[in-house]
A and B are shown apart, each in its own frame.
Chain A
Amino acid sequence: MIFPLCFALFVVGLYCVLTKRNVIKIIIGLSIMEYAVNLFLVLLGYKKQVPLSQVQAPIIEKVTNLDDFFMKAVDPLPQALVLTSIVIGLGVTALAIAICIRLYQRYGTFDIDQMRRLKG
């Protein structure tokens, strides 16, 4: 049930990108799609066989028992990939917002239908 809900979040973002006419709404849809993909990647790394009070983050402290640490710790590899992905998403969305501001200054509207008509 969890993975289909995460995919439903992605589909909500896709619907927003496909049907909305306002450029800011399209950027919001892109952001929602990116959150859904990051959540899906982190969900892949969780270990459920370990009871809830004993599952650990992949960080070693002085009191950790090193023998069964690798049984109880969750997968660190998806977390490393998602960390990179979050920061890249910030850069791309900042660039998209800069383009939006420039479009408003050039055409006077955020509506892509009117931008098509006011060509030039």
Chain B
Amino acid sequence: MNGMSPIVQTVARFVKVFILLFGVYLTFTGHLTPGGGFAGGVVIGCLYILLTLAHGKSLSLTYFSSGAAHGLDSLGALMFLLVACLGLGLGGIFFANFLQKAYPGAEFSLLSAGTIPISNIAIGIKVASSLFLVFVVMAVARIIEKKDGGTDYKQDEEEE
């Protein structure tokens, strides 16, 4: 899949750092301001869609290969489950907020709410990787013209 014109590529190259910063900000301060894991994850997923559309599929896959995306997806889900099981082990009930009971931080600070920032980060990683995988798989098809005038649907060679 080809990229787009040089204007789009230059603007995307300039703007991608700010979008990444905004997504990370939404995820990290999800317990203090509106945002949270879902909003930050979807914004970072949109960032990778922007890069794939602007530069073409081959260049964006050098930033973040699909094998790494599969790994990060599973890592996010497993981290969330790990926090839940640690709550069962150390707190007595499933998903107990064990860090808040042991070390309550100051209110309105970044490290204040126990296991909630950790869960936010896990969900943000998971949602961003899922959206990136869905877009990469859907965006690789091209329509080619057959010799008798009909159209066919051809998919690029997938790397395994």
Inter-subunit contact B34/A57 (CB<8 Å)? yes
Q: What 1/0 flags go to B3-15 for Cβ under 8 Å of A? A: 0000000000000
Chain B residue numbers with a CB within 8 Å of A108 are 150
Q: State which of B33, B38, B108, B134 has its C-beta within 8 Å of the C-beta of A94.
A: B134
List the interface of chain A (C-beta within 8 A of B).
Answer: 57, 59, 62, 83, 86-87, 90-91, 94, 97-98, 101, 104-105, 108
Tell me if B102 counts as interface (CB < 8 A to partner A): no
Most chain-B CB neighbours within 10 Å: which of A86, A87, A98? A87
CA distance A86 to B34 in the complex (A): 16
Q: State which of A91, A97, A104 has its C-beta within 8 Å of the C-beta of B153.
A: A104
Main secondary structure, interface of A, reads: helix
CA distance A86 to B41 in the complex (A): 13
CA distance A104 to B154 in the complex (A): 12
Inter-subunit contact B38/A98 (CB<8 Å)? no
CA distance A108 to B151 in the complex (A): 9
Q: What 1/0 flags go to B131-160 for Cβ under 8 Å of A? A: 000100110010000000010010000000
CA distance A62 to B38 in the complex (A): 25
In the complex, what's the smallest C-beta–C-beta distance from A41 to chain B, in angstroms? Answer: 16
A101/B141 contact (C-beta < 8 A), A62-B108, A87-B127, A94-B134 known: yes
Q: Can you name 22 A-B pairs with beta carbons within 8 Å?
A: A57-B34, A59-B33, A59-B34, A62-B108, A83-B36, A83-B38, A86-B38, A87-B38, A87-B42, A87-B127, A90-B42, A91-B130, A94-B134, A97-B138, A98-B134, A98-B137, A98-B138, A101-B138, A101-B141, A104-B153, A105-B153, A108-B150
In the complex, what's the smallest C-beta–C-beta distance from B99 to chain A, in angstroms? Answer: 20
CA distance A87 to B108 in the complex (A): 27
Return the chain A residue nearest B33 by Cβ. Answer: A59
Nearest 8 CB-CB pairings of A with B: A105-B153, A94-B134, A87-B38, A62-B108, A83-B38, A59-B34, A104-B153, A98-B138
CA distance A86 to B153 in the complex (A): 32
CA distance A39 to B135 in the complex (A): 27
Return the chain B residue nearest A87 by Cβ. Answer: B38
Interface positions of B from 8 to 53, Cβ below 8 Å from A: 33-34, 36, 38, 42
CA distance A97 to B36 in the complex (A): 27
Chain B residue numbers with a CB within 8 Å of A57 are 34
CA distance A10 to B108 in the complex (A): 40
Chain B residue numbers with a CB within 8 Å of A97 are 138
CA distance A91 to B13 in the complex (A): 29
Chain A residue numbers with a CB within 8 Å of B150 are 108
Chain B residue numbers with a CB within 8 Å of A59 are 33-34
